[in-house]
Amino acid sequence: MAEPKVENSTSPVGESKIRIDAREKVTGAAIYADDIQFGNSLLHARIKRSPHPHALIKKINSEKALALPGVKAIVTGQDFPGYIGLYLKDRFFFCRDRVRYVGDPVAGVVAVSEEIAEKALGLIEVEYEILEPVLDPEYGARPEAPLLHPDLGKYAVASFIFPQPGTNISNHFKIRKGDVNGAWEKCTAIVEHKYRIPHIQHVPIEPHIAIAKVDEAGEITLWGSSQSPFAQRNLIAQSLGISPGKMRVIAPYVGGGFGCKAGVSMESLAVAIAMKVKGRPVKLLLTREEEFFTAFVRQGLTAYFKMGCDENGRLLAMENTFYWDGGAYTEYGVNITRAAGYSSSGPYEVPNVKTDSYCVYTNHPVGGAMRGFGMPEIHAGLEQCIDELALRIGMDAVEFRKLNCLKTGSTLVTGSRMHATGLSQCIEKTAEAIGWGKKAPPSAPNKRRGKGMALMWKAPAMPPNAGSSAWVELAEDGTLNVGVGGQEIGQGVFTVAAQMAAAALGVAYESVRIAAPIDTRYSPYEWQTVASRLTWSMGNAIVNAAKDARKQILDIVAEAWDETPDDLNIVNGVVISYKSEKEIPLKNLVIYGLPKPGDQGWRGGPIIGRGSFMPTYVTGLDAETGQGERAVVHYTTGAQAVELEVDLDTGRIEIIKGVSTFDIGKAINPELVEAQMEGGFVQGMSSALFESLQLKDGVLRNPSFVDYRIATSSDIPKDLQSYIVEVPQDDGPWGARGIGEHSMVPTIPAIANAIYDAVGVRLEGPPFTAEKVYLAMLDAGIVK
Amino acid sequence: MAFHKINITINGGLEQVVVPSNMTLMQMLRENLALTGTKNGCSAGECGACTVLLNGEPVNSCMVLAVECDGTNIVTVEGLAGDQQLDPVQEAIIQSGGVQCGFCTPGILISARALLDRNPDPAEEEIREALVGNLCRCTGYVRIIESVKAAAKV
């Protein structure tokens, strides 16, 4: 029987519903981890950190610190021998024998106040033997570089990561597709470039925070600002050698994540410290200064690109080498370097590709996931080379992209086929909206105006079997409570979760609540809130849970009415029959069931629907060639363009207009999708123009908002446009794919290409500060 | 550490609080009065998440000592809404979609309220200028600026 048409007319999917969390967030009622009240039993922790980028710990003397009144305990690495890490277990909670970056935790103090804990830090004496540091990834990859992890060969590692024991290379991902060497002679034009992408910070406005409490039985509760409550439960418990069932993680709203609150970082320190003061909650709140260099950073990258095309502009070959500055520990970063490898062609069909993506240990801050997961970094150089190649062959850059970009069925760099994609439409829409090919005059005689475009692709980078689950239950009033384990980090996932649950069950969006905060004891499992995977993966779990509840409801009603479920539907919270035209509100049956006629008992009972989703089709890739049947679940694709002005007197860049178009399969909530595109564009713009962690000899020189500038309200373009293309994903809910990260992937190269269009200079890497642009113009003889 | 008893009007109600000399207004609001809507983003006066109105002027509450606030009138995000309805800036930021993670939102709302109180019909440049001390990492500011424009029309 055909699906009743009426269901669509009441579906909130595709509508720009108001955010479910907006009201509590604007009234100050929304609770974040630091807002939870623990009363007088709360203790405060601070961390003693290494001042050296690379050294051996010879001795730690904490006697004086322990004698300070108010100090309750001091913790060092000697008490915690277990390794921890997401893809590669290469890290201890606290350093045991060696420190590997400035900021590496050496000891933890817990005291009755933050002031006393801070004072005690100064009384801990640590004796170091200083070692030569590795401060550059290319050098670090060489055999003569000092070895930072002599035990690399002993670390537990995911099956798809390839460490090289005896070196500082913690992952080497290779693509060997076609015959690159044979292809170069067939190329009419070849470009070669080196680009450097600096480390940057995520800069959530809410700093990292964790509060841990361990009871007498050893059961651990952790409250924190977390994108990964379930992964934290599992990884911290594993490292402690306890059952994950003894660990409970409670995660309220996250005040910005962008990847830095994924996996495990400082949370393990709070847990370790709390184990020494059983029964007392222990709070560890990073200072803004600590946030800049002890939380995960975005890895630095040194990238070499070589690419060539034939006389018609068709791409024939690429040879790309990436040296990732993974930092002191690469437990998470190794998978960024893998993702960069299997995406190394960019969104283009290229028959011959050779890629080497190296994750290299250095004595820099720890690299981790950041919005885009390697894609902004590699696209920054790649998309500039594409522009250069088009110029070299005498083709318009947009035409060149349209010719070479991935289409449905194109062969990917890993050998598999591209799924349905609307990338070509994204290019056309973006070119049209930016007015491609039309040159407007600059706003002043001392300014030059330019336009630039860049494309992108990105897949969720995750283990092949990352799973989601959900439940739905109805209350006495027919309202729907939806249990999820995915976290609201600002992206709006609770809102789209509510929309999808409402649509799949047949109730109003306004009658849905999300069971929050996420609590691993009550919430259904979710791998992590990362990879722009929730709308798709968790969405599928929610739809399955709602369908399960729907079937239970319709079966009961069909039995009661002596009809078949196929003739029934749930519309706006009411079960209706298309056959008998009977109806009954959900609230009349979802808790107490329905009475049988003649007082002959009851049928049904409380309704609870369950659903889960896990991709089952992702295959491995050959370790030598990077070829395989299906590397990832899907790719979101898109394009951005900018129009900007360069001030010839100062080198200052002003972004006048930005355009974003992404193929997200289906917009469950179009305004939320546009909001992601706007926020991502501005974060990408900020990384292009302003942001860089200035590391000198391993020491961060700019750990504050004054010295590390991010975009403010005065920096954004007056005209920022966002467009949605919808070519459905075959296994997405209503065809949806993710958008959260993608919106900042092409921004750096779009701006770089526009700078070139305006003044004809290219820089080795961002940030494109006024000073650097001016000096480049001076070098090129554009200004005198 | 010396302690001080201060009288302070907070969101329209008179409070008497005992505070140590080195306690900031932000700490007093969050820790002594459980007004946790005021957020701590940097404790250095750089991010604007802790902005409150002090005698009608927006200030970073992490940069003001509580003891300095004796006899003053403070409005926090919890005090913006009336009993029955939201402040127009709150309603507008909801409708414009200017909220994402929500951590900067309280400070943004206070800065916007302060702007509209002194200039009921600000130009876009004036709105951008008024919010320049409130960092937001999620939204790209577009919808926040739109919401202040919309609230000005109410």
Tell which of B104, B138, B143, B145 to mutate to test the A interface (max A CBs under 10 Å).
B138
List the one residue out of A334, A414, A433, A354 whose CA is nearest residue A635.
Answer: A414
pLDDT of residue B154: 87
Q: Is A583 helix (H, G, I), strand (E, B) or coil?
A: strand
For residues A669-707, one letter each, b for 16 or more C-beta atoms within 10 angstroms of the residue's C-beta and e for the rest, the string is bbbbbbbbbbbbbbbbbbbbbbbbbebeebebebbebee
First CA to last CA across chain B, in angstroms?
48
Average pLDDT of B59-77? 98
pLDDT tens digits along A364-394? 999 999 999 999 999 999 999 999 999 999 9
Interface of A with B in 201-230 (CB under 8 A): 202-207
Cβ pairs bridging A and B (under 8 Å): 161
Q: In degrees rounded to 5, what are phi and psi of residue B135?
A: -75, 140
CB < 8 Å & 24+ apart, contacts of A121-125? A121/A46, A121/A47, A121/A48, A121/A65, A123/A62, A123/A64, A123/A65, A123/A68, A124/A48, A124/A60, A124/A61, A124/A62, A124/A64, A124/A65, A124/A74, A125/A59, A125/A60, A125/A61, A125/A62, A125/A64
pLDDT of residue B84: 84
Quick one: tokens of A293? 């260099």
Which residue is associated with the tokens 């062609």?
A: A345
- One domain for residues B94 and B51: no
Given an 8 Å threshold on Cβ–Cβ distance, is B145 in contact with A714? Answer: no
Q: Is A154 helix (H, G, I), strand (E, B) or coil?
A: helix
pLDDT tens digits along A109-123? 999 999 999 999 999
Residue of B nearest to A115 (CA): B22
Q: Which one of A21, A255, A682 has the shortest CB-CB distance to B140? A: A682
The model's confidence at residue A645, banded by pLDDT at 50, 70 and 90, is very high
Angle of helix A423-434 relative to helix A397-404, nearest 10 degrees? 170
- One domain for residues B61 and B95: no
- One domain for residues B30 and B73: yes
The sign of the torsion formed by the CA atoms of A769, A772, A776, A781 equals positive
pLDDT of residue A771: 97
- One domain for residues B101 and B146: yes
Contact residues on chain B for A18, CB-CB shorter than 8 A: 94-95
Residue A5: pLDDT over 70? no
pLDDT tens digits along A23-82? 999 999 999 999 999 999 999 999 999 999 999 999 999 999 999 999 999 999 999 999
- CB contact set of A694 (below 8 Å; sequence gap of 6+): A700, A701, A702, A707
CA A254/CA A256 separation, integer angstroms: 6
The structural domains of chain A, with segments of one domain joined by +, span 6-30+466-613, 33-131+207-254+261-294, 300-462+620-779
The model's confidence at residue A206, banded by pLDDT at 50, 70 and 90, is very high
- One domain for residues B54 and B74: yes
Which residue is associated with the tokens 């075959």?
A: A730
Class at the top of the CATH hierarchy for domain A6-30+466-613: alpha beta
Does residue B104 form part of some domain? yes
- CB contact set of A701 (below 8 Å; sequence gap of 6+): A694, A695, A707
The sign of the torsion formed by the CA atoms of A92, A96, A97, A99 equals positive
List the one residue out of A435, A526, A540 whose CA is nearest residue A488.
Answer: A526
Average pLDDT of A464-481? 98
pLDDT tens digits along A684-734? 999 999 999 999 999 999 999 999 999 999 999 999 999 999 999 999 999
CA–chain centroid gap for A159, Å, is 22
Q: Which one of B77, B81, B143 has the shortest CB-CB distance to A675? A: B143
Domain boundary among B35, B54, B78: B78
The CATH number given to whatever domain includes residue B119 is 1.10.150.120
Given an 8 Å threshold on Cβ–Cβ distance, is B37 in contact with A28? Answer: yes
- One domain for residues B71 and B97: no
pLDDT of residue B82: 86
Given an 8 Å threshold on Cβ–Cβ distance, is B104 in contact with A205? Answer: yes
What domain count does chain B have? 2
Angle of helix A747-759 relative to helix A770-779, nearest 10 degrees? 40
Q: Is the ipTM of this complex over 0.95?
A: yes
Q: Which one of A206, A678, A679 has the shortest CB-CB distance to B103? A: A206
Check CB contact of B68 with chain A, cutoff 8 Å: no
- One domain for residues B52 and B104: no
Architecture of the domain defined by A300-462+620-779 = 2-Layer Sandwich (3.30)
CATH 3.30.413.10 fits A33-131+207-254+261-294, yes or no: no
pLDDT tens digits along A279-297? 999 999 999 999 999 999 9
Residue A1: pLDDT over 80? no
Interface of B with A in 27-46 (CB under 8 A): 30, 34-44, 46
pLDDT of residue A10: 67
- One domain for residues B15 and B40: yes
Domain carrying residue B17? 3-78
pLDDT tens digits along A306-354? 999 999 999 999 999 999 999 999 999 999 999 999 999 999 999 999 9
The model's confidence at residue A602, banded by pLDDT at 50, 70 and 90, is very high
DSSP letters of A481-549?
Answer: EEEE-S--SSS-HHHHHHHHHHHHHT--GGGEEE--SEETTTSPPBS-S-TT-HHHHHHHHHHHHHHHH
pLDDT tens digits along B91-130? 999 999 999 999 999 999 999 999 999 999 999 999 999 9
Does residue B65 form part of some domain? yes
Does residue B83 form part of some domain? no
Check CB contact of A633 with chain B, cutoff 8 Å: no
Element (H, E) at A98: strand A98-99
- One domain for residues B95 and B74: no
